[in-house]
Amino acid sequence: MAQDRTLQGRVTDRATGNGLPGVTVLVKGTTIGASTDSEGSYTLSVPASATTLTFSFIGYTTLDRPITDASTINVAMEASARELGEVVVTALGLETSRDRLGTAQSTVQGQALVRSGETSPITALSGKAPGVLITRSTGDPGASANIQIRGASTITGNLQPLIVVDGIPISNTSVGENTPGTAGGIVASGGGAASNQISGVVQQSRLNDINPDDIASMEVLRGAAAAALWGTRAANGVLVITTKKGRSADKLNLSYRTTYGIDEINQVPELQQRYGQGLNGLFAQGNARSWGDRIADRSGGADAAITTPGAPGYQGFITFADGTQRFAIPAGTAANPHGGKNSRDTYDHSDEVFGRGYTWDNIATLSGGDPRSNFYISLGNTHTEGIARNNSDNDRTTFRVNVDRQLATKFRAGINATYARTFSNRVQQGSSGSSIFLGAFVALPTSTTPTTSATTPTRRAISSSGANPRTVISWATAITPDSTTLSGPSITCATRRGCSGLLGPWS
């Protein structure tokens, strides 16, 4: 009885001698075959009746080699002059030669996106395609980004390009929801990802739902000819994303990749710690400035508070959630610039709001196929913690299935499906006094820090124009207004931003 035999060998490029990965090796006239590995090697079990092996690869001339008594068949393939033109994806998944296109076009391979270390395919594109400007809206995990191709073409209109994934146009719109129970409801922005802010927080773009590991290539189409393929919506250019598929006549491939990265602030601005709260060299507890008395000239020790009702400058007291009470401190005068401020203690609040962030990215893929079909399945999870200590995180889970089948000579059917589930918290941005960055760095050098509890912050605003940054990030999800309870000359404080009113701003 005739038995199968095993053949092996290596396929190389005739010009360079390097191994060619992905070359299809078939027993001629059958569906029995294999593909070469990353080194160009292959192993194939063939029936005793087999007489010829066929070697084929995109861009190379197909070769036939007779099967002899030898168990090793090595082949050197030569590039085909007819197939040297690069194949690119244009519209509705159609492929054509780059030389035949009348539009400026650049291609970024999916592997380059993965190597960038970015968790969003849009920010991963930054710096990899000429004429494409990617602008981050914020540094928060999962925050959206703006895409601009070949400069601005309008002053007030939308500058975002048309984005197409596997032949289907999708939106780069960022969507968010106003405070529940208030007017506004769901808010969507079509004018760019950063233009939609809810209470100073930038919302996500749906492009972040795509896992960069699932992308085979990204084509950037520019110029007027791009609009000829996709219509007026492509006036600002087109970004064509093609996701991965399995190889026909390929063996089953299973892969797993995990990546862990750490984010830290490299350098923070140097803060002045020479002058205390106040202005013109005089201490003033209710002043938002930091040009008061010289801290080094203070006597040291506990501050002198006005605790006697009816005494000049008495304003009552404030009670914090931890039971601590505070009274007003006498303001400085020309004769005594320090007033009742004796303590020389100073504080740097940057460590209160910023820490170490990290990104943990995991993805598993399964792909393969036979001569008439192929499939690609992936399951991935990306979790990112931002450098802000609270309420700055993003968790994305994606599942993708791409299946393709040749049903007849001129009829091929396929399905591309994806599921994404994203949870994200982002803190307030901008230059307002309530943003955590400015809040931390304009904090008075003699302001005490809030308690370490994330649920019961007990120090009030650092000044009359800005909230305590640690309190802001600890209560970023709170939507109720600040509440104060007045009781005679005292104030009981149970708020997320501190107390105001009779005592003015307290440090």
Confidence of residue 310 (pLDDT cuts 50, 70, 90): confident
Q: Are 376 and 365 in contact (CB under 8 A)?
A: yes
Q: Which residue has the higher pLDDT, 41 or 323?
A: 41
pLDDT of residue 380: 95
Q: Rounded to whole angstroms, how far apart are CA atoms 67 and 70?
A: 8
**Both tokens assigned to 106:** 């650049």
DSSP calls for 171-210: ---EEEE--TTSTT-EEEESS-GGG-EETTEEPPBGGGGS
Q: Are 202 and 138 in contact (CB under 8 A)?
A: yes
- Scanning 8-159, the segments in alpha helix (DSSP H) are 110-115, 121-124
pLDDT of residue 153: 64
- pLDDT for 443 equals 58
* pLDDT 10s digits, 350-381: 777 788 899 999 999 999 988 888 999 999 99
Q: Which residues of 317-334 are buried (b: 16+ CB within 10 A; e: fewer)?
A: bbbbbeeeebbbbbbbee
- Predicted confidence at residue 427, as pLDDT, reads 73
Give the ranges where 329-375 is alpha helix by DSSP (H): 350-353
Place of tokens 């600890």: 474
Query: Which run of H or of E encompasses 399?
Result: strand 393-408
pLDDT, residue 487, reads: 29
Q: Are 96 and 90 in contact (CB under 8 A)?
A: yes
For residue 488, name the pLDDT band (cuts at 50, 70, 90). very low
DSSP 481: P
As a whole number of angstroms, the distance between CA 361 and CA 408 comes to: 40
SS3 478: coil
pLDDT at residue number 206? 75
How far, in Å, CA of 441 to CA of 462, rounded? 11
Which of these, 268, 285, 409, lies nearest to 343 by C-alpha position?
A: 285
User: Which domains can be identified in the chain, with CATH numbers?
Assistant: 5-82 (2.60.40.1120), 95-263+357-387+393-425 (2.170.130.10)
Q: What's the rounded mean pLDDT across residues 447-472?
A: 41
Is 461 or 274 the better-scoring residue by pLDDT?
Answer: 274
Distance CA 473, CA 201 (A): 12
User: Would the pLDDT of 311 be above 70?
Assistant: yes
Task: Compute CA distances 213 → 126, 147, 245, 422, whole Å.
Answer: 16, 20, 12, 17
Query: Which of 462, 461, 466 has the alpha carbon at shortest distance from 428?
Result: 466
Q: Is 148 helix (H, G, I), strand (E, B) or coil?
A: strand
Quick one: pLDDT at residue 301?
A: 86
Measured distance between the N- and C-terminal CA atoms of the chain, rounded to whole angstroms: 94
84 burial class (0-12, 13-18, 19+ CB within 10 angstroms)?
Answer: exposed
pLDDT at 106: 80
Instruction: Output DSSP code: residue 36.
Output: -
d(CA 119, CA 138): 14
Residue 207 tokens, joined:
């492009």
Number of Cβ within a 10 Å radius of residue 224: 11
Residue 99 has pLDDT above 60, yes or no: no
Neighbouring-strand partners of residue 43:
8
pLDDT tens digits, residue range 218-277? 888 876 666 677 777 777 888 889 999 888 777 889 999 999 999 888 877 777 788 888
**Residue 501: which pLDDT band, with cuts at 50, 70 and 90?**
very low
Q: What integer pLDDT is reported at residue 439 of this predicted model?
A: 60
- Which residues lie below 8 Å from residue 370, measured CB to CB, with a gap of 6+? 31, 248, 249
For residue 123, give both structure tokens: 């920010």
CA nearest neighbour of 444 among 201, 273, 240, 310: 273
- Least-confidence region, from 174-188, 417-431, 486-500: 486-500
Label residue 192 left, alpha or beta by phi (over 0 means left) and psi (-120 to 50 means alpha): left
Helix (H) or strand (E) holding 227: helix 224-230
CA distance 507 to 341: 11
Please choose, from the candidates 434, 394, 398, the residue with its C-alpha nearest in 3D space to the C-alpha of residue 203. 394
Q: Distance between alpha carbon 302 and the CA centroid of its chain, in Å?
A: 47
